[in-house]
Each structure stands twice: as structure tokens, then as C-alpha cells.
Structure 1
Amino acid sequence: MIKNINTSNIKYDQNGLVPVIVQEANTGLVLMLAYMNEEALTKTIQTEVAHYYSRSRQLIWMKGETSGNIQQVKALHVDCDQDTLLLKIVQDGVACHTNHLSCFFEAWLEERQPQGNLGIIRELEAVILNRNRHPIEGSYTSHLLEKGLDKILKKVGEEATEVVIAAKSQDQSELVYETADLIYHMLTLLVKQGIPWSAVETELDKRRQMTANPLE
């Protein structure tokens, strides 16, 4: 996908590094800022998995090498001055070492707004994935995943019923609340089954392309 590209014009700084802006391919969310040297860039292109250069440790590292939060590369762009890269990836788990999906979770100048393009779904999926890999005592998500598939399926069934009841009662606020519960439990089910949310997006996109009405 990105193997046959010419990187010879990239302008590295005096330390042989180029900054890399990392963006979630499905949502457009900016996840982190990192650096690459020529070798890290080559590894990234060859493997289609993000590799960076650690300025503190002075070595090349693969994102997710120890945490499991791998970044699958979908696209690579260079800016007009050839001195900054934009890496579009699909994030497995979270990008930040603080267990936030993005390293830019602290807003200074504006309030946090709901993310477009189903970004909140990807963020929630990342949290559930993280709880699956690193269970936390007292976490409902960790408890649910530990109890297994039957427990999760029971909750999905219960929440689906609650959605129906809320809709029948014409209670819009309750319907929104119960729908959020159902979506959360469905995401937990997908994580338990090893199915990424991107697979659902792909299926929906496939249906949209097949017909003008995706529900026909």
C-alpha cells in the first residue's frame, strides 16, 4: 500500500529526525506527536506498523511492542516543506501511556465537543480493549469481560429490551440513555469476540455502496 514511495527528499533535522503527526484514520482524531529517523521510517513503510525513534532512550521502537497497542498504518503523507510527516493509522487500544486514546486529551482553550465520524465509538472501543488486556479491580468492564461471553450476551439482551420499552413509552431521554447502554454492551461483545469496530464500519460502507438506501 505505501511500499513504493520515495523518501529521499525528506528533510531531517540536525539530529536526523523528522516529526510525525499521528492521526486515527477512521475518525480523524489526532493521537500523538512522535519522531522518526530514516531507519524507523523504513521499518514503518516495510511492515505497515508504526515505528518511532525515542529521543530519551535513543533507540527505535515499535508502537505497542510491550503494551499491545499497535498502530496499523493506512496512509503516509509528507507536508509541503518535506519536513513533517502525517501518519494515518488504525489504533489497537490506546495511543497514550496514560490510557487515554489520544495524548491530546487536555483541552486548554475550548470545551471538549462530541467527536464527529463516530469518534466516541472508537474511543470507547479503545477503553474496552485496554480493560480486556489490563483488567482493573472494581471496573465494571473488566468484570464483564472476565465473566465471559454468556454474561455479556445476557446484558446485550437486557439492554435491547430496555431500548424497546423506552421507545414504546415515548420517553426520548430514556431511549437515548438505553441506546447508549446497548451500544456499550455491543462494543464489549465485539471486543470479547475479537472483532474490531472497523469491521462494522466496513460492512456498513459496503451496504451504502450497494444501494442508495442502506436498509433496502
Structure 2
Amino acid sequence: MNIEDLAFDEKGLIPAIVQDVDTKEVLTLAYMNKKSLLKSIDTGETWFYSRSRQELWHKGATSGNTQKIVEMKFDCDKDALVVLVNPAGPACHNGTASCFTESIYQNKLTSDSELSNYQILYNLEQVIKEREVNRPEGAYTTYLFEKGVDKILKKVGEEAAEVIIAAKNRDAEELKWEAADLLYHLFVLLREQGLPFAEILNVLETRHQEK
């Protein structure tokens, strides 16, 4: 595919939707011109064109929150791009993983409390991912990643045993806390193994459809 075949607008720009390759969350919407697109392809990291400053900018050049490009796609009209990335930190200048954090509509068939319950799993995965990349000193998650897979596996086993004990004792309060610990360490293990939680959900969905 020659980039000359893309349908840039009258200002020489094309919208680029940046998406996390693991979680599939949309991180931001920016614009590229031919030069920034070529630099993105050449460096393997996202470069955009600032419409306000009228200049190229490299995502993460000052913050360190770069975006490693995994794949770039164009739509059927060739006038928009999707850029799948591995982000090294928050995409938004406000410090959030995504620039899209506010809702103007929400399907009320799913309650707000249900949505927030699922959202915490996504947030947990993002925090663990950020800890692995940046390794902040003193963080427990950093400690686990630095100790390696054997330590993480040991903790998963220990927490699973604690869940069993709490359940056998019919101690709902203890079970609640131990189950949360098990989930946390399982998410750390998934990250260490490079396995997105979304793939676990895909397996569950496939099994549900087969029943």
C-alpha cells in the first residue's frame, strides 16, 4: 500500500485513531500528515501533526509515554487510520490511560454499578501494565516483576490456598479479601506471560456460545 493512495483532506491530514493492542481501548484521536505518517512507520512509534501548533510532534518525547506501533490499518474509504500500539504510559495529557473518559450516553440495560464493577478489572490490568513498564521504586508490583515468574507463581498458589481455606471455613469476609488477592496476583501473572485479560474473556464467550 502506497501512502499516496490514502485520502488526506484538503489540509493534507488524515485522522488516526490510536488503540491499545491488548485491551482494544481507544486511547486518543489525533491527526497525521504524510511526513508524520512516514516518521511513524520509520521509527515504529507514533508521530502526529498538531493542528494548533502546526508542527509535527512525537508522542512521549517529553513525558516518556511513547507508543510502540504494532500495526496500522486504513478503512475502506482510505480516509482514516487505526494505529494499534503498546503504550508505555498514559495516552492523555491529564494522566489517564485514554483521552476518552467521560460518557454522554450509557445503555441503561446495564446498571452503572455493574459497569463500574467490570471497569475495575480493566483499571487493574492497566495499573499492572504501567508498573511493569515503569517499575516505580517501592511498589509491590515492581517487586513481583523483578523477582520473576517463580515468585509470581508462588504467590498465586499461596492466594489460591487462602481462598480454599476461607471457603472451607465458611468465612465470607475472609473469602472476599483472599479472592481479591488471588485476582490481583493472577493479573500480574497474565501480564508476565504477555496474555491480555481480553483473551480470557474471549474463551469464556466462546464456551458460553457453545452451550
Q: Do Structure 1 and Structure 2 share a fold, with TM-score over 0.5?
A: yes
Match 1:30 to one of 16, 23, 26: 26
Shift in CA distance, 69/53, structure 1 to aligned 2, threshold 3 Å: same
Tell me how far 1:77 sits from its aligned partner. 1.0
Q: Which amino acid aligns with 1:47?
A: T
Indicate the RMSD between aligned Cα atoms, in angstroms: 3.4
The 1-side partners of 2:69 and 2:3 are apart by: 16
- Which residue number in structure 1 is paired with residue 180 of structure 2? 177
- Which residue number in structure 2 is paired with residue 167 of structure 1? 164
Tell me how far 1:129 sits from its aligned partner. 5.8
1:23 is paired with a residue whose SS is strand
- Which residue number in structure 2 is paired with residue 101 of structure 1? 97
- Which residue number in structure 2 is paired with residue 144 of structure 1? 139
2:195 maps to 1:201: yes
- Which residue number in structure 2 is paired with residue 56 of structure 1? 52
Unaligned stretches of 5+ in structure 2? 107-111, 200-211
The 2-side partners of 1:198 and 1:25 are apart by: 16
Shift in CA distance, 159/80, structure 1 to aligned 2, threshold 3 Å: closer
2:49 maps to 1:46: no
Tell me how far 1:100 sits from its aligned partner. 0.9
8 Å contact from structure 2 (residues 32, 49) kept in 1: yes
8 Å contact from structure 2 (residues 129, 191) kept in 1: no
Match 1:75 to one of 49, 71, 78: 71
1:108 is paired with a residue whose SS is coil
8 Å contact from structure 2 (residues 28, 92) kept in 1: yes
The 2-side partners of 1:131 and 1:74 are apart by: 20
Q: Which amino acid aligns with 1:167?
A: I
Q: TM-score, normalised by structure 2?
A: 0.68
* Larger proportion of helix: 2
Shift in CA distance, 22/158, structure 1 to aligned 2, threshold 3 Å: closer
Tell me how far 1:164 sits from its aligned partner. 2.3
Q: Which amino acid aligns with 1:201?
A: L
The 1-side partners of 2:134 and 2:42 are apart by: 31
Q: TM-score, normalised by structure 1?
A: 0.67
- Which residue number in structure 2 is paired with residue 125 of structure 1? 128
Unaligned stretches of 5+ in structure 1? 134-141, 188-195, 206-216
Q: Which amino acid aligns with 1:175?
A: E
The 2-side partners of 1:198 and 1:49 are apart by: 23
2:35 is paired with a residue whose SS is helix
8 Å contact from structure 1 (residues 44, 50) kept in 2: yes
- Which residue number in structure 1 is paired with residue 82 of structure 2? 86
1:107 is paired with a residue whose SS is coil
Shift in CA distance, 94/198, structure 1 to aligned 2, threshold 3 Å: farther
2:7 maps to 1:11: yes
The 2-side partners of 1:63 and 1:199 are apart by: 27
Tell me how far 1:62 sits from its aligned partner. 1.3
How many residues are aligned here? 178
The 2-side partners of 1:37 and 1:72 are apart by: 19
Percent identical residues:
30
Shift in CA distance, 125/56, structure 1 to aligned 2, threshold 3 Å: farther
Tell me how far 1:9 sits from its aligned partner. 1.5
